[in-house]
Chains A and B, each alone.
Chain A
Amino acid sequence: MELAVQTRALGKRYGRTWALQDCALDVPAGRIAALVGPNGAGKTTLLHLAVGLLRPDAGEVRVFGRDPRSVLPDIGFVAQDTPLYRDFTAAELVTMGGKLNRRRWDAALARERLAMLGIPPDRPVGKLSGGQRAQVALALALAKRPRLLLLDEPIASLDPLARREFMQALMGAVAESETTVLLSSHLLADLERSCDYLIVLQQSRVQLTGAVDELLDTHRTLVGPRAGSESIAGVAKVVRASHTERQSTLLVRRGDGPVDPLWTEHEVTLEDLVLAYLAEATATRVEWEVPA
């Protein structure tokens, strides 16, 4: 299995604060991976490390087994807020892409996409709507015919309709190619339907990573009698527990063997899973010292 992105003990520090710490990830090639986490979790830092904009302070990151800066022609990147030269027209940006990517540049693809979306070629992109600008940025990234496409909150600033159009355009474009996609969002709902690989980041650490179907398969919600902290047969780890007076609801990772029949098993949704892992990370956080 070829790995598109691989990180080992990866860390990045700004001053004394670690923006990303001890990050170990394997994103297999061909996946559409969602990078989920609240604002400030380290998503942008991770993506910037993967595209070589930042250099790690600890560990290493490899893209297709190599240093990111040496495979830049194979990486398409759409940065947060889709920065573009605002006084350039879309047509000029396509020309610019050709000048900056001599090895491989599919100008026809970019023009076709932009024409299809009805984006005027001769207006400065600064005068286009946010959704149109995002589409221009995506078209530029796709015209590199990248093997890895990294998108940093591409839809965060778009309205719901533009979000859907953007995701449709993205999925349509990568469906026919072998492109690996890694896109970040602080909203899982936007990505849930499209992604088959999940990375949950919280407080600069990776909380959960794996293929979506595997994750759904290995996690269960258990409902049963009010439980203490004793271990349950067939459960490897309790991710999150909530209790009422008489019963407990647990989100667990399954272990070997069947689960104690005392408990009723339910399948989990991706959203339950992500929320459970995010909540767990929040609970272990160092709290403010508030006098009782």
Chain B
Amino acid sequence: MIWLTWRQHRRQALFTLGALAVLAAIMVPTGLAMHTKYDSLGLPACREALGSASMITQTEAVSRCESLGHQFQQEFSGMVFVAVLFVVLPVLVGVFFGAPLVSREFEQGTHRLVWTQGVSRLQWALAKFGLVGAITVVLAVGYALGVSWWFRPLVSASTGRLTYLSFDVQGVVPVAYTLFALALGIFAGTYWRKVLPAMGISLVGFAAVRVAIEVLARPRYLPARTLSFSPAGDQTPNPASGDWVMSEGVRNAAGELVLPNARIGPCPPSGCGAGPGPGEAGAGAYNWMEFQPGDRFWTFQAIETGIFALLAAALVYFALRRLRTIA
């Protein structure tokens, strides 16, 4: 079975390796450039000094560190678009590896050849899914490690790794997304039994599930924390905390949100801009924000990985059940 699976998919596998090699040829130099620049700006040390508390005292050092971060982001702003490419990679595994796995056999009628040999369908399916799954895991782990390394300077110079996009391409969730995409492709292939519809359905299905979980479920994995701070004080949110700010604004003395997505006071050394002054929000107005603390990164990763791993397992189960009855 292993021989057959390899023989059938070796071209795909080699093609994938080639594509990944090309990708690596682009990512390694740009990643090195980002790491070097990050270090030469002195960002590691200044970020280290800020610690990971949510609020810190506003000092000269804090704003200097923040402006260094902005400088770094300016220089590599184009790289964020490259990161979008990484978000798309897992679905390609589902579309090009998963969807044709069973449906191509049906399309070419070869299921009638391979399912009438001395190997049971279940053995056939387990060997095939197992081998392709194992290769996928290896590729996905390499991809997750590589992207985590490549993305680290950009993420720590900006809003932290819990925010959208940077959460999605780091840690262990990319592996879970990839396995889910593969399982979805296989499942679609056993139900629609034509390569192109199966590909389309796995593409659309993956996007729908990913967006739904990302937007609806992820912000609620743990209850968000809230924080209020006075514009008069010298406390400011820590740019290095990695907190994921979900909403913020200015509330008046009665607690009503009067200025959404705004913050008042304390002014940076460069002077206050034309932003909203305390006068507009009335006396006693204060800054408010709702956020997920940055140190929940691995908890959130574990929860999201668990969700997608369960979904993948369920899809494989239904695909196997379906395989027993179709011909």
A residues with CB within 8 A of B: 48, 51-55, 69, 72-73, 75, 77, 79-81, 83-86, 88, 92, 95-97, 99-104, 137, 140, 144
Contact = CB atoms under 8 A, between A and B. Distances in A.
B118 interface: yes
13 contacts: A48-B112, A51-B116, A53-B327, A54-B327, A72-B118, A79-B109, A79-B116, A96-B3, A96-B4, A96-B7, A100-B118, A102-B118, A140-B113
Contacts of A103: 118
Contacts of A144: 117-118
Nearest to A84: B113
Interface in B182-228: none
Contact of B109 (A77, A81, A100): A81
Given A72-B120, A81-B109, A92 B114 contact: no
Interface of B: 1, 3-4, 7-8, 108-110, 112-120, 325, 327
B233 to A, nearest CB: 71
Contacts of A80: 109
B114 to A, nearest CB: 7
A53 B112 contact: yes
Contacts of B1: 99-100
B4 A77 contact: no
B307 to A, nearest CB: 34
A100 B110 contact: no
Contacts of A96: 3-4, 7
Most buried by A among B113, B114, B327: B113
B327 A99 contact: no
A144 B113 CA distance: 13
Contacts of B115: 53
**6 closest pairs, A vs B, by CB?**
A83-B109, A100-B117, A79-B112, A101-B118, A53-B327, A73-B118
Given A69-B120, A97-B117, A101-B117, A85 B3 contact: no
A86 B108 contact: yes
A42 B79 CA distance: 61
B325 A83 contact: no
A99 to B, nearest CB: 5
Contacts of A85: 8, 108, 110, 113
A79 B1 CA distance: 21
A83 B116 contact: no
Given A51-B116, A72-B118, A83-B110, A100 B4 contact: yes
A252 B114 CA distance: 45
B114 A55 contact: no
B319 to A, nearest CB: 18
A53 B112 CA distance: 7
Nearest to A86: B108
Nearest to A55: B325
Contacts of A101: 117-119
Contact of B7 (A54, A81, A92): A92
